[in-house]
Amino acid sequence: MRPTVFYSYIVFLIVLSSCAFKTPDPSVQDKMHIFLDSLINEMTVEEKAGQLTLYTSGWTITGPQLREDYIDELKAGRAGNLFNAHTVDYSMKLQKMAVEETRLGIPLLFGLDVIHGYKTTFPIPLAEASTWDMDIIEKTARLSAKEAASAGVNWTFNPMVDIARDPRWGRIAEGAGEDTYLGSLIGAAKVRGHQGEDLADPTTILACVKHFAAYGAAQAGRDYHTVDMSDRVLRETYLPPYKAALDAGAATLMTSFNELDGVPASGSYYLMTEILRKEWGFDGFVVTDYTSINEMVPHGVVADEKEAVALAFNAGVEMDMQGGIYSKYIPELIREGKISEKVLDAYVKRVLTMKYKLGLFDDPYRYLNAQREQETFFSQELMDHALLSAKESIVLLKNEKVGDSPLLPLSKSTRSIALIGPLADNQKDMLGTWHVAGDETKVITLLQGMKEIAPGVTLHHARGAGFTGDDRPGFREAIQAARKSDVVVMALGENFGQSGEAASRSELGLPGAQQALLEEIQALGKPIVVLVMAGRPLTLEWMHDHVPAIVNTWHLGTQAGRAIAQVLFGDHNPAGKLTITFPRNVGQIPIFYSMKNTGRPFDTQNKYTSRYLDVSNEPLYPFGHGLSYTTFDYADLHLATNELSEGASLPVSVTVTNTGPYEGREIVQLYITDKVGSVTRPVKELKGFKKINLKPGESAKVEFTITTDDLAFYTRDMSYQAEPGTFKVMVGPSSSKGLEAEFELKVNGI
């Protein structure tokens, strides 16, 4: 092994800690600072820029491969971090290169989009948000981190906390949906899960909050498109989830591709310095999204890439993902005095601090243990949790009676079922978007799941249609299967590539010939259950009007088929609730539950009110909607007082009773309306929820506490506070119904 300057620093530290004259011992923090400052002092400007550089590895048919020119950069110390490089075997080679073949031997960070699992794939994030269950969500992140960490990954580009209210945007699949309050809790839970208690634990990995900021508000739902909004909306609706995830300790943050108020995020001093550093005190590091510094040229705010580097650097961005232009231009810009070396040192230190906290300077190979990797992949713990999470993510949208009872759950003594659709026996698409290392061969398909759980039922399976084009050659077989069956189950929706990045759609119906297939099968008059498997809300109005039972199963990952089959046959009573509004048609978009009232709220008696001529204002399924095989009754909404004074809190309770035949879980939701504000307020806002379990006939008193913080907003002068006045409280099973009461908030006795 070549002696490196790095190792002389280790010696320096050992000497420092054993020095007899040194009193008192430097604290752990002090040691880190001394170590890092001395290291930075030894670095050339090129090596410093290298630590601010992140390159992707590529995957070829035979496995992962790093571009030749990156290898040269790496060995020269000009590439300090890699992503899309994983598995112990491969990462070991690269880490050795960095540690043994570069002048200073600084270990690499290995990043990866571990979005909903590494090998074991969990439900897509929008699906898992429907659990409203922070324990499940945190555990998914914890276990994903553990599995990814066992394969050499020490940094994930997760959580994605972009509020999204336009289902045309394919990346809606990656987030928690439309709501700021829920999205903030979910972002924080994911950070806790990934980073655990201590980054020095080699089963934890760095989290990266993305995409800062407001990427989810792309105009017309077209990916990478312009974002423009008032500072009020930005701060009230879009920023809180980023802040919550950072407050939970997220080590890093990613910029977004979009411009905001005319400035691309990666060049925005307002976002990266004023808000992030000065207002929020973030002390981790910022990485750009993929080549987004370079993209400031086509955005049109800089003439060339060198100017782009200066803009991003001076805005407060530490690391360049894949652009390769920090390493190219930083040395030159320092020489020209356009950027400061002192700032460069501070940026490098933030990156090295994370490597230090991960323990990579103690042992650069601590994530690279082949035995641990083998033991962790698809472990029972992972598979069990993937099943639980998948079951809890399923949302029962509709379940009407066929004969005397609701169509679902199906009886295991049903004689025959036709299982039709392109997702019925499909492994790959169950993985959903961003399934990085997900192994489709391990996926349980719906057909397999149904055979496993109901072996006595005769299944007639037919694919019927595909995801694109309008070819109908499969229709005949599907119709025959339906004709000879008692019940039809259709697995329809999107393939994994039809949502996610660069997968915006202008029409949100079932893609390909699936709608035509559904209509032909429906015409046969058999009882039909449709399972909608998609990465976003689809427009399901025809289906809603013609089919008795609809279950939204999203893309549920490795255990998809088993989870869905358990719900179909009643072994698991569904409890998921939507965290995103399902529109009736694309023309209603954007549509979300917390809209404003307008000066002319819809009134059937008056044409000149806010509405459409051709569709109602109401969504097909509202935020918070989700049925159960049992029924719940809400009663006795009780407010401890009708007057709340500033700084005090208001206990609220409601009694929920399971009035149906099955044990079930209910997500009880609390919404607040500020009736009069110095600026207009949303018609309602989620401010609390509880997930409860009740046996048939059982009741529970569900308690909430409203504080004045829950009532605060950006007032007319942009100060963040609660204003006195009347507030409405609604507690119920979704955003569209519930019991209501009112209280007054008194501020300074008024």
Instruction: Write out the catalytic residue numbers.
Output: 289
Decide: 170 and 502 in contact? Cβ < 8 Å.
yes
Q: Can residue 572 be called a binding residue for ligand BGC (CB under 6 A)?
A: no
Whose Cβ is closer to ligand BGC: residue 73's or residue 289's?
289
Q: Report in angstroms how near the CB of residue 338 gets to ligand BGC at its nearest.
A: 28
Decide: 285 and 351 in contact? Cβ < 8 Å.
yes
Q: Report in angstroms how near the CB of residue 296 gets to ligand BGC at its nearest.
A: 16
Whose Cβ is closer to ligand BGC: residue 157's or residue 582's?
157
Beta pairing class for 252-255 and 285-287: parallel
**Which tokens go with 401?**
């009676």
Q: Report in angstroms how near the CB of residue 54 gets to ligand BGC at its nearest.
A: 9
Given its phi and psi angles, is residue 249 left (phi above 0), alpha (psi -120 to 50 degrees) or beta? left
Q: Which residue is nearest to ligand BGC (CB)?
A: 157
SS3 746: strand
Q: Report in angstroms how near the CB of residue 267 gets to ligand BGC at its nearest.
A: 17
Whose Cβ is closer to ligand BGC: residue 210's or residue 460's?
210
Q: Report in angstroms how near the CB of residue 681 gets to ligand BGC at its nearest.
A: 33
Whose Cβ is closer to ligand BGC: residue 12's or residue 290's?
290
Q: Can residue 289 be called a binding residue for ligand BGC (CB under 6 A)?
A: yes
Given its phi and psi angles, is residue 117 left (phi above 0), alpha (psi -120 to 50 degrees) or beta? left
Residue of 7, 270, 290, 378 interacting with ligand BGC (CB under 6 A): 290
Half-sphere exposure of residue 690, counting CA atoms within 13 Å on the CB side?
Answer: 16
SS3 489: strand
User: Which ranges of 369-465 would DSSP assign to H, the alpha helix?
Assistant: 370-376, 380-393, 446-453
Q: x/- contact string, 482-501, with ligand BGC (CB under 6 A)?
A: -------------------x
Q: Report in angstroms how near the CB of residue 210 gets to ligand BGC at its nearest.
A: 6
Distance of alpha carbon 144 from the chain centroid:
14
Q: Report in angstroms how near the CB of residue 174 gets to ligand BGC at its nearest.
A: 7
User: Which ranges of 84-133 would DSSP assign to H, the alpha helix?
Assistant: 88-101, 125-129
Whose Cβ is closer to ligand BGC: residue 133's or residue 501's?
501
The single-letter DSSP state of residue 234 is I
Q: Report in angstroms how near the CB of residue 319 gets to ligand BGC at its nearest.
A: 12
Whose Cβ is closer to ligand BGC: residue 288's or residue 658's?
288
Helices (H) then strands (E): counts for the chain: 22, 30
Cis amide prior to 622 (ω within 30 degrees): no
Q: Report in angstroms how near the CB of residue 274 gets to ligand BGC at its nearest.
A: 24
Within 421-552, strands assigned E span: 458-462, 487-493, 528-533, 549-552
Q: Can residue 357 be called a binding residue for ligand BGC (CB under 6 A)?
A: no
Q: Within 95-124, which residues bind ligand BGC (CB under 6 A)?
A: 113
Whose Cβ is closer to ligand BGC: residue 255's or residue 426's?
255
Q: Within 138-197, which residues bind ligand BGC (CB under 6 A)?
A: 157
Residue of 119, 192, 210, 555 interacting with ligand BGC (CB under 6 A): 210
User: Which ranges of 102-202 would DSSP assign to H, the alpha helix?
Assistant: 125-129, 134-149, 180-195
Whose Cβ is closer to ligand BGC: residue 265's or residue 551's?
265
Scored b (16 or more CB within 10 A) or e, 76-96 reads ebbbbbbbbbbbbebbbebbe
Phi then psi dihedrals of residue 18, to 5 deg:
-105, 0
Half-sphere exposure of residue 562, counting CA atoms within 13 Å on the CB side?
Answer: 17
Whose Cβ is closer to ligand BGC: residue 226's or residue 699's?
226
SS3 714: strand
How many residues are listed for the chain in this entry? Answer: 750
Contacts of 749 (CB under 8 A, 6+ apart): none
Binding region for ligand BGC (CB under 6 A)? 113, 157, 210, 289-290, 501
